[in-house]
Amino acid sequence: MLEEVFSELYKLLKELIIKNLMFKALLKHIKSSLDDLEPLLKDIENSNKKLALPAEELEKLKVHLEEGIGLCQKCKKIGRWNVYKRYKYSKKLIGWDESLQRPLQILNVQGTRDMKAGLVVMKNLEKAVGIERPNSESSLVVPKLPPLVVGLDLPLKELKGKLLKDKNVSMVVLTAPGGCGKTTLATKFCQDKDVKDTFKDNIFFVTVSKKPNLENIVQDLYQRKGFRVPTFQSKVSTMTLLQSFLKEDWQNPFLIVLDDVWSGSEDLVQTCDESITENSKFLVTSRSEFRGYGFPHRLQLLDDDNAMKLFHHSASLGDKSSHIPKDLPEKILERCKGFPLAIEVVGRSLRGQPLETWKKIVCKWSKGFSLLDSETQLLLCLEKTLEDEMVAIKECFLDLGSFPEDQRIPATALIDVWAELYDEDSDVECVANLYELTKRSLANLVVTRKDKIEGDGYYSEHFVTQHDVLRELAIYNTKKEPVEDRKRLIIDICGDNLPKWWREQKHQPMKARLLSITTDEGFSTKWHSMQMPDVEVLILNFQTKNYALPESVVNMGKLKTVIVTNYGFLPAELSNLQLLSSLPFLKRIRLERISIPSITKNPIQLASLKKISLFMCNIGQAFNNCSISISSAFPNLEEMNIDYCSDLIELPAEVCDLSKLKKLSVTNCHKLSALPEGIGKLENLELLRLRSCTELSKLPTSMKNLGKVNFLDISDCFSIKVLPEDIGEMSSLRKINMRQCSRLQELPPSVMDLEQLEEVVCDEETKYLWESFSSCLNNIRIIVAKENINLNWLHKTQF
């Protein structure tokens, strides 16, 4: 009976491997496990009698094999593009395969019991007479290189330059997302002739992995060198023994590679870092950075030439594949964006497939299907990246999928999302999350600001980039639940092709807290109704010249944040803005590349609005001819940000009526020439930022009434020649940034009254202006800003 069940399952597996590409990699792994099991089952009765194998174990094995048959039969019925079910059954297959290892292990243990007993006796005798035998199966051996290695010549040269030639570098931490070739590069480094000549036999390759067994690692190191293996009492003693090993009096240099170190194993990296000697070198590979330890080095993705070489090898594109048109591999590689694992997996899946299969997958991608929809092996590898992440960081990563591909995500937009979704108290906490994502190779934070001054709360020049494969991973994770139960609903619309469930009005109302809708230039702004009462964050991305908010927004009673971004070249007209008046909890609005003839042309009143951000908008007439005053429209506004609004010539006087305003930031508005004299009426203002307003020639005298302002930023305001005479009356002023105020020749004497002033950021040329008052301003700290001219952000960012 057991052999019959086994045969049926084995036959079904072979059939699925041939016909079902979705689960091919998983099924091959399961088949490999069954191959190990087959010879043990052939003589199962004799083995049972001879070794007294418990009958219940055989029955459990039989039941487990029958469960496998049922699982495989269900997998046969799943459509290739059914994301939810494919992920669900992939996890079930993995779980079933892991459960199979238990009975397999029992059979193997029973079959080798006598042999192992003999080995134990011999080992005890050796231990009694003081003999320690080196472990012949040590995990410290450098692994073999794959058949084809591409794109690593330059990274190898850079590694050798650091670890072999730079005496100041003893540890390099190599980071990149999973599947980018970190282990391959570390292996290539260890097998390099110069490296071998330098370290001789003292090269130790330690695979750390997700849950490292530190005792085994230390034991292997001691055995490899022929030292007596110590006893372990605790994790602390294990680390102490590792430190002792590393600080041995080594006569020759040694290299230790710590491969695949996960976040959470910082103590291992720290111990190695603290044990560095003159003869020691360390190479650490990880998805995460370990800041403060070693020299950080990020592995870049493959360029086009090397990507094509790897794809040709993986897909076996030789003379026999001349029927594949040249443009198909190019389109596939365009989708993979230099990601080695993605290239290999897709290449293998297309190996030997007919032309129609190639065309089908490219066609699916063009319609918005994900690369991960068809490549289970790639999905499961990338999924490991998220397994042990902190919940907060994982949630932030998933939110990045709400923004269009190949676009930089403004950090300020993410701040507006996270502040309301996760109750982050400050912008600083949100930006700290971005650094964590970068540290874990889940995103890349790009800072375009010219100066290196940090900590001033200015994040308009912070952007996030992300590889398309990682973005697809984030989106894929949002699809694990049925559409009506998803926390995030991310909709990408081509033309007017709405999702089927939306057209047919299925699954309503939805439970999503975040709704993101991206449309292209073919969208006609004809919205179907939708019932999403729980949405708190609405993100709308579009490319058309005219755009209207969906009328269903009035039903989103819990909405707190609205972000509308036009990705077209010119500002677009936005209508239906008055619909937001019906939302009682709306706190934040961010508009990008929007043309607003009059922000209150139609009566609008947002009583709960706390923050409005206008980026690259046409707002020259936004505050004119209003049917309702700004203070009535936004009675509780606390923060206003106007950035890169090129048609803003003069800040409207009506802004001064926003009595509860705490932060006013007008930056990179190069035509702005004047501020309203009544700005002194903003009695609750705490921050005034006028950064890079190059035509602004003077500051209003009424600024002396801004008694709560603690930070004044006039950096890059080249035209300002003098500060207000009574600036000393700004009694709360603690910090001034006046970098690149090159025309400022003197300071008014009243600056001596700025008793709370602690910090001034300026240039070398204007430093002397403040030094002349240093005897009166005892607590002042003068910081000379240094420019960091870096245009790398203009180019395509890679990991």
Fold of the domain built from segment(s) 153-298:
Rossmann fold (3.40.50)
Structure tokens at 511: 């439970």
How does strand 546-548 pair with strand 572-575? Answer: parallel
Nearest C-alpha neighbor of 555 from the set 535, 528, 576: 535
Tell me the one-letter amino acid at 250.
Answer: W
Fold of the domain built from segment(s) 389-470:
Arc Repressor Mutant, subunit A (1.10.10)
Each residue's pLDDT tens digit, 548-603 = 899 999 999 999 999 999 988 888 888 888 899 989 999 999 999 998 765 556 77
> What pLDDT sits at residue 625?
60
Residue ranges covered by each domain of the chain = 2-116, 153-298, 304-378, 389-470, 480-727
> What pLDDT sits at residue 711?
95
- Name the burial class of residue 228, with classes exposed (0-12), middle (13-18) and buried (19+) by CB atoms within 10 angstroms of its CB: exposed
> What pLDDT sits at residue 139?
55
Q: How far apart are CA 351 and CA 43, in angstroms?
A: 38
Contact 691, 715 (CB under 8 A): yes
Domain 304-378 has CATH 1.10.8: yes
How does strand 280-286 pair with strand 444-447? Answer: unpaired
> What pLDDT sits at residue 126?
38
Contact 535, 512 (CB under 8 A): yes
| Residue carrying the six token digits 């020759």 | 252
Q: What is the DSSP string of 24-83?
A: HHHHHHHHHHHHHHHHHHHTHHHHHHHHT--HHHHHHHHHHHHHHHHHHHHHTTS-TT-H
Q: What is the DSSP string of 735-749?
A: EEE-TT-TT-----G
Fold of the domain built from segment(s) 480-727:
3.80.10
Stretches where the chain sits below pLDDT 50 are 49-51, 109-138, 790-799
CB count, 10 Å around CB of 89?
A: 22
- Name the burial class of residue 63, with classes exposed (0-12), middle (13-18) and buried (19+) by CB atoms within 10 angstroms of its CB: exposed
> Does 153-298 match 389-470 in CATH topology?
no
Spell out the SS3 assignment of 95-128: HHHHHHHHHHHHHHHHHCHHHHHHHHHHHHHHHH
Half-sphere exposure in the Cβ direction for 690 (13 Å, CA): 28
The model carries a pTM of 0.73
**Distance set, CA 169 to CA 173, 190, 472, 476, 708 (Å):** 11, 17, 37, 40, 48
Each residue's pLDDT tens digit, 203-215 = 989 888 767 777 7
Contact 64, 43 (CB under 8 A): no
Q: How far apart are CA 446 and CA 651, in angstroms?
A: 30
Q: How far apart are CA 534 and CA 515, in angstroms?
A: 10
Three-class SS of residue 214? helix
Helices (H), ranges, 315-443: 327-336, 340-350, 355-366, 376-387, 391-399, 411-421, 427-439
